[in-house]
A and B are shown apart, each in its own frame.
Chain A
Amino acid sequence: MATAATSWQTIDTQQLKQSLAPFNNFPVKGSFVQSKKLKFLTVPIRSSGNFAIDKVKSELLWHQQTPVEQQTKINQQGIFQQKQGQNNFVKVVDDSVISQLLLAIFTGDITTEDWFLWQRNPAEAGCIKSDILSADLSQYVQSIKLCHLQNVLQITLSENQVETLIELTEHKEE
């Protein structure tokens, strides 16, 4: 394990461009499966649903269907939620920095932000990871890992005591 951990290497601008290419073309519509591992839980908490990204409006719609139905809207202003039976989206996170981080990841606009220091590991082809450099952001997310595996994109968000793995599958138009 120690060997694998040390083999993550910082990548230069040219390499970064190449490594990020698959993530610049994130699916704009698809389904997701999320698996959340809490340190003190033996079973991960799974959820699933659909998502849609509007790159022009810079907005992510996250429609969770299981285990509870809930719609989340993430834009530059913050994170908003709409519960089942409710008409309006209610702001649940006022700090816009976290929404900006999530939008940067989902819209693939992750090169310009100076929050990241991207690294890659030859042993994990198709994956890049970065610690979050901003102190403000690191209270939410400490590191991010992005993997591009055939038709699935994986996002791993590491928080304090929690690791969240999100798998995105693109909906292809028939």
Chain B
Amino acid sequence: MTGASGLQKLWLLTFLVATCLLVTLLIQSPPTINADFSQIFYRQSHDQQTEQVIEQIRQDNESSHLILLEAKSLERAIEQAEKLTDTLKQSTLLKDVKVTFAQTPQLEDIAQFYAQYPGAFLSERYHTWLQQQQYQAVIEQQFAALTQMVNPLVGSTFTQDPSLALADFLAEQQASAAVQQTVQGHLYLTLEDTTAVLVYFKPDMSAMNIQQIAAVAEQINSACQALSANCLKVGQLFHADYASQSAQFEMMAFSLASMLAITLLICFAYKTVRAYLATLLVIAVSILFGLLALVIFFAEVHILTLVFGCTLIGISADYAFHAMSELAESKQQGQANIKGIHKPLFFGFLTSVIGYIILCFSPFVIFQQVGIFTLVGLLAAYLTVILIFPFRSWFVGQVSWQQKAWLHFLLSGQNSIASIKALYLLLAVAAFAAYVIWVGAAFTDDVRRFYQVSPELAEQQTKVARYFNKESNKQLADFQFYLVSADSPQQLLDREKQLTVALRKLVSSNQLSNYSAMSDWIVSSKAQQYNWDLLNTYQQTELYQSYLQQLGLSYQPLIQNHKWLDIDTWLQQRFAASYRNHYKVVDGQYYSVVKLYGIRSLTELDNLAAYSDNVLFVDRASTISAQLTQFRGYLLKILVIAVAIAWLVLVVCFNIKQATVVTLIPIISSVISLSISQLVQSELTIFNVLAVVLVLALSFDYAMFYLSKGVVAKVSFTTLISALSSIFVFAILGFSSTPAIASFGLTVFVGILCSYAVAPLAAINKQRDIYAR
């Protein structure tokens, strides 16, 4: 034992400063933990202003929450909804809690409002007939409407418009659907033999951390449990709470399982408390520095980063195991140090650094966070092992592999792998695995399949949609809409109208269930004037005069409007309330949203937007999926380049034959792990490819020890302990409820298993004295 060197003092100083800094940062400006899975892969893909509008729309969408209180009778549903509202109003984090609503518009009100603008609004068919002077068709439609068994629009509009153009316009808009049922202001819906009353609220999601989200969700859940009505909840808060609860549980479970596995392995391998403490030190230091890096570089950390981060425990413990084995053996030889493993440890660390640096440069924040956290954590673990372990032989465990019969058996097996024959055999297996991937590889980068939505919440959402009379195949598309932009409101309405004409064709060809656009309810002043001219011309025809005579009416000239209906006036109407979030004005530019229902052909929708610079098809999920596909392509190319660079470095440091064999080990392991993942999952995702980064890094790590030392007891023993700790961690990840994590865990698990089995190949031409140093 010697006194501390300058480097060791520096390490200690850095450790203390880092600890203080982390504590200070966590107290003063703790990072926000984000549990919103829809935001996990998001990155900007439009100009700043458009992104700003899209973000506003997203926040509008996510801020509205509702709970339907479902009961057998309306009275019970109202009573329970009021009880729940009282509870919700107590929360300072929930705004606009409402159970009663202002008088909802009646069909009569809508008709009377439009009657103020005579002739300005025509249905699509009236417009066509009048434009093409097919007046007979208009007359037939008038009589058809007048004789229809029930048609409330005729009664509501006939006095102002005997031509029934307004009635037909309102019928086309399904104006009756805008009318909602209320009892004393309570909005209620019926489904089969149950009635549901609506409670609305807006949580301030941006101001809430995951603890507050959990607290509010818990408060609502408890309140619901105390009610004698069924709560059907819809809103981002509930999804975020489920995601965060699930991720927190997994993070805790994976960390505990990793620590338990490492404890058992140390008990089995090193048998001392000191060895356990030494391993804990390495793990603690790596986590501390990893967290510090996260806090410094990111203001918001996704909870999934922390779940992935659990893998740092297993990887950093590897360094401790190698160092402890080396220390134990070198001590038996007179001087406790780890000089003998400097080279393989460094190369192992280097390959991991290359792997995680690739992640740091990914375009997605989640991968950057995992990359930075693990990279800095591993650097800290590496330096701790290199600088601190040799400082005190106190760290040395009691390890003796000479007497272990199982190890002897294992070494015999590994020796047979370290042969040309095995190399050819493994190459053949890898070639077959590559063939399996080539033939069956179905890469899926659909971001919606990377996380699991609570089945209970999904079921409730479907039922709520049924209450709102929306069949499952006609539901509002998941953040897929058109964004139309213009320099003036009039231009905006004209552009939106052009788009809806094309959308109607898609609806009639069944490629889209429906759409919702304000230009169906309001057209530009120019279009309103044009409609008026068309109707006025028709009303002066003999055919129309004869229609009036048949009804016993006299001709009244169509009133000339003094002003046309504008967007602001229209949006103030209660029946237009649901369109208020469709219209945005940002920095003098006007935007409108066209919502889409039951999309069946994305290509067609994409093509429609391609015709105009002012119409953007916003499809965040598909955009992210496309970006992930692109990133996967880049990643695969970078991996190939990284492996080639590693081969070149090895050629310089060793020789071409050794370099080639060592490089083949991670390649074989990666190909086999990908093919098995393909067989198990029946598809591959970006997470399987990301897992390959880790498989390559760990494979190189194991191979380097066999290359440096050959198939010897110490290397075989330590590599086994290292592999077991990692295998255990990643096998647990494979059970994650989040498909992304499960895919990642599966590939790394199989990859490490293969790496451990194949790694002795690196010892071809090495000594076969299994007990040699």
Contact = CB atoms under 8 A, between A and B. Distances in A.
Interface string A131-169: 000111001110000000000000001011110101000
Given A92-B171, A160-B156, A64 B147 contact: yes
Q: Which of B147, B148, B182 has the most CB of A within 10 A?
A: B147
Interface stretch (B11-19, B138-146, B397-405, B612-620): B138-146
B179 interface: yes
A157 B155 CA distance: 13
A45 B147 contact: yes
Q: Which of B140, B150, B171 has the most CB of A within 10 A?
A: B150
A43 B156 CA distance: 18
A81 B168 CA distance: 14
Interface stretch (A11-19, A22-30, A66-74, A119-127): A66-74
Contacts of A94: 174, 177
Interface residues of B, number: 31
A68 B171 contact: no
A59 to B, nearest CB: 15
Nearest to B551: A41
Contact of B144 (A39, A68, A166): A68
A36 B108 CA distance: 19
Q: Which of B106, B151, B552 has the most CB of A within 10 A?
A: B151
B179 A139 contact: yes
A38 B154 contact: yes
A45 B146 contact: yes
B245 interface: no
A41 B147 CA distance: 14
Contact of B155 (A92, A102, A159): A159
A45 to B, nearest CB: 5
Contacts of B106: 139
B155 A67 contact: no
Contacts, number: 85
B561 interface: no
A157 B147 contact: no
A68 B147 contact: yes
Contacts of B182: 135
Interface in A85-117: 92-96, 98, 102
Interface string B9-44: 000000000000000000000000000000000000
Contact of B158 (A40, A83, A135, A166): A40
Nearest to A67: B143
Given A40-B158, A41-B551, A160-B108, A139 B152 contact: yes
Nearest to B140: A68
A2 B154 CA distance: 29
Given A161-B155, A162-B155, A43 B181 contact: no
Given A67-B147, A68-B143, A135-B181, A45 B551 contact: yes
B149 A62 contact: yes
Given A40-B159, A139-B176, A159 B150 contact: yes
A34 B140 contact: no
B179 A164 contact: no
B143 A159 contact: no
A3 B701 CA distance: 101
A83 B141 CA distance: 9
B183 interface: yes
Contacts of A70: 144, 147
B552 A41 contact: yes
B150 A161 contact: no
B264 interface: no
Contacts of B721: none
Contacts of A141: 150
Contacts of B154: 38, 162
Contacts of A76: none
B158 A38 contact: yes
Contact of A135 (B176, B177, B183, B553): B183
B466 to A, nearest CB: 12
A159 B552 contact: no
Interface of B: 106-108, 140, 143-144, 146-152, 154-156, 158-159, 171, 174, 176-177, 179, 181-183, 190, 469, 551-553
Task: Give me the 7 closest cross-chain CB pairs, A-B, nearest first.
Answer: A161-B155, A47-B147, A162-B155, A160-B155, A42-B552, A68-B143, A135-B181
20 contacts: A34-B147, A36-B147, A41-B551, A64-B147, A68-B147, A94-B177, A95-B174, A95-B177, A102-B149, A102-B150, A135-B182, A136-B181, A136-B190, A139-B107, A139-B176, A139-B179, A157-B149, A161-B155, A161-B156, A162-B155
Given A36-B147, A39-B159, A135-B182, 9 more contacts: A39-B155, A68-B143, A68-B147, A92-B171, A94-B174, A102-B149, A139-B176, A159-B152, A161-B155
